[in-house]
Amino acid sequence: MKNNKLSILCIVGARPNFMKIAPMMRIFNQPGSGISAKLLHTGQHYDAAMKASFFDQLGIPEPDVDLGVGSSSHAVQTAEIMKQFEPQLDLIQPDLVLVVGDVNSTIACALVAVKKGIPVVHVEAGLRSYDRDMPEEINRVLTDQISELLLTTEKNAQANLVREGIDPKRIHFVGNVMIDTLFANRERAVPPKEVLAGLTNPAQFLEAESGYGLVTLHRPSNVDNPEVLARLLETFAEISQRMPLIFPVHPRTRGRINAADLTGLLDSDRIALLPPLGYLELLGLMNSAQLVLTDSGGIQEETTALGIPCITLRENTERPITVEQGTNTIVGSDPKRIKASFEQIVTTGGKRGRVPELWDGKAAERVADVLLQWGSRAASAKSP
Ligand code: UD1
């Protein structure tokens, strides 16, 4: 404890971390919060479109430290973060290191911290796809094993953690910080008309009788194998004949499409290819979409919170509540299943769904409460 405040070093690295950290930084930095928070960005994502616009739009303070590690293989990226994080941690010496989600930055910083005897808080703990081919699954399992406090978004997560031998006393169901950001920004979302203003034919999407669909795709399992990628793009082209599609393309996906020479498959005036978008632009498009086709983890949750039908292009999900209670349907990458799910949504309007428990815009406040309780227990354990 410094100046009687609990000092927390918050870590971000990649795009999906930014919307999770934003509401926590805001609550932690409020006067009288009892918490003093610093922010460290590993630099895993570095393009303006993948980073800067999120900091601006979500009011995230400039990081106190930016490691600037950039992209490379998993091993090099993870090792580089660890190497550069250690001396920073020595300088800052926080009471706790807080990591979010499941990206390489999450496990890298958690591992360094725990080995230095600094307890780790994992926000969004306990999610499991039970698919160890996903790099994120490895990151989740390992981060949870070495975390002192495990803060969960849904009750399935608690059961997963207990099965893995985690002491239930360390697990706290706080809700979903990403949905805090969603609800706080819904009114500020950029209208689709503005997002599409640069297109030659925005009316094709904005005034289509069918409405438009929104596509996002970046998982290695979908984009790294050219055959799988081609099959998915052909399926999008087919669907676009029924419903025009807007597709902001992740840098990884853009690279794979170019490398496999597949650009021609998307050459249609019914598919709008956009660069990666800012948070408020994507939210605007998502909020007005008829349906979403995605392999993102976060978008499965956001569509559930917004009540928009979501077709998930993966064989499994670590977020089962979005299927059990929300608007999500898991279909994988098989064109037949994707098209069947699309048809079903077009004819029935899709699952109605409801917003899961504690996805109420107040999760960051509960996170702060749990951390402060931990802080006072730690302080009284230390006092003679
Ligand atoms: C990472 C996360 C994934 C998350 C995704 C969201 C891991 C293991 N994966 O995947 O869980 O859903 O972020 O985007 O941490 N690139 C750029 N500019 C950038 C960042 C990346 O051009 O700012 C390109 C590079 O070519 C890079 C590729 O995208 O090689 C992949 O980036 P990387 O951070 O390794 O993984 P993602 O696929 O983005």
Number of the ligand 1 atom closest to the C-alpha atom of 220: 38
Ligand 1, atom 37, lies closest to the CA of 252
End-to-end CA distance of the chain: 16
80 and 200 assigned to the same domain: no
302 lines ligand 1 (CB under 6 A): no
Regarding whether 248 and 171 lie in a shared domain, the answer is no
Residue 182 lies in a domain: no
pLDDT of residue 290: 98
pLDDT value at residue 355? 98
Q: Does the Cβ of 72 fall within 6 Å of ligand 1? A: no
99 and 165 co-located in one domain: yes
Q: Is residue 331 part of a domain?
A: yes
Whether residue 246 lies inside any domain: the answer is yes
Pocket test for ligand 1, best of 44, 178, 301 (most atoms within 8 A of CB): 44
Token pair in block for residue 377: 């227990």
Whether 135 is in the pocket of ligand 1, judged by its Cβ within 6 Å, is yes
Query: What's the pLDDT at 371?
Result: 98
Q: Which residues of 44-53 are buried (b: 16+ CB within 10 A; e: fewer)?
A: bbbeebbbeb
Q: What is the extent of the structural domain holding 261? A: 189-348
- Co-location of 22 and 144 in the same domain: yes
Same domain, 12 and 126: yes
Q: Is 264 in the pocket of ligand 1 (CB under 6 A)?
A: no
| Residue pair 319/16 in contact by the 8 Å Cβ criterion | no
Q: Find out whether the beta carbon of 136 lies less than 6 Å from any atom of ligand 1.
A: yes
Residue 180 lies in a domain: no
Determine the pLDDT at residue 1: 77
* For ligand 1, atom 31: residue with the closest CA: 252
Find the CATH number of the domain harbouring 58.
Answer: 3.40.50.2000
pLDDT of residue 253: 98
Is residue 102 located within the same domain as residue 135?
Answer: yes
Distance between Cα 45 and ligand 1 center (Å): 6
Contact 357, 158 (CB under 8 A): no
Q: Which of 45, 72, 218 to mutate to test the pocket of ligand 1 (most atoms within 8 A of CB)?
A: 45
- Check if 50 has its Cβ closer than 6 Å to any atom of ligand 1: yes
Nearest CA to ligand 1 atom 16: 251
| Amino acid identity, position 185 | N
Q: Which residues pair with 272 in a beta bridge?
A: 246
| Annotated catalytic residue 41 | no
What pLDDT is stored for residue 105 in this prediction? 98
Q: Considering the domain boundaries, does residue 95 fall inside one?
A: yes
Cβ–ligand 1 contact at 70 (below 6 Å):
no
Residues 167 and 219 in one domain: no
pLDDT of residue 52: 85
Domain check: are 164 and 195 in the same one? no
- In one-letter notation, the amino acid at residue 58 is L
Q: Is 14 a member of any domain? A: yes
Pocket lining: 15 vs ligand 1, CB cutoff 6 Å:
yes
Nearest to 331 by CA among 312, 350, 345: 312
Tally the domains of the chain. Answer: 2
**6 contacts 93 by C-beta, under 8 angstroms:** no
Distance 106 CA to ligand 1 centre (A): 13
Task: Give the per-residue pLDDT at 295.
Answer: 98
One domain, residues 10 and 146: yes
Residue 60 shares a structural domain with residue 87: yes
What residues have CB less than 8 Å from 62, skipping those under 6 apart? 39, 55
Residue-wise pLDDT tens for the chain (384 aa)? Answer: 777 899 999 999 999 999 999 999 999 999 999 999 999 999 999 998 888 899 999 999 999 999 999 999 999 999 999 999 999 999 999 999 999 999 999 999 999 999 999 999 999 999 999 999 999 999 999 999 999 999 999 999 999 999 999 999 999 999 999 999 999 999 999 999 999 999 999 999 999 999 999 999 999 999 999 999 999 999 999 999 999 999 999 999 999 999 999 999 999 999 999 999 999 999 999 999 999 999 999 999 999 999 999 999 999 999 999 999 999 999 999 999 999 999 999 999 999 899 999 999 999 999 999 999 999 999 888 877
The reply to whether 354 falls in a domain is: no
If asked whether residues 328 and 368 sit together in one domain, one would say: no
226 lies in some domain = yes
Looking at residue 121, what DSSP letter applies?
Answer: E
Task: Give the per-residue pLDDT at 384.
Answer: 73
CA distance 152 to 156: 9
Counted residue by residue, the chain has a size of: 384
Residues 256 and 313 in one domain: yes
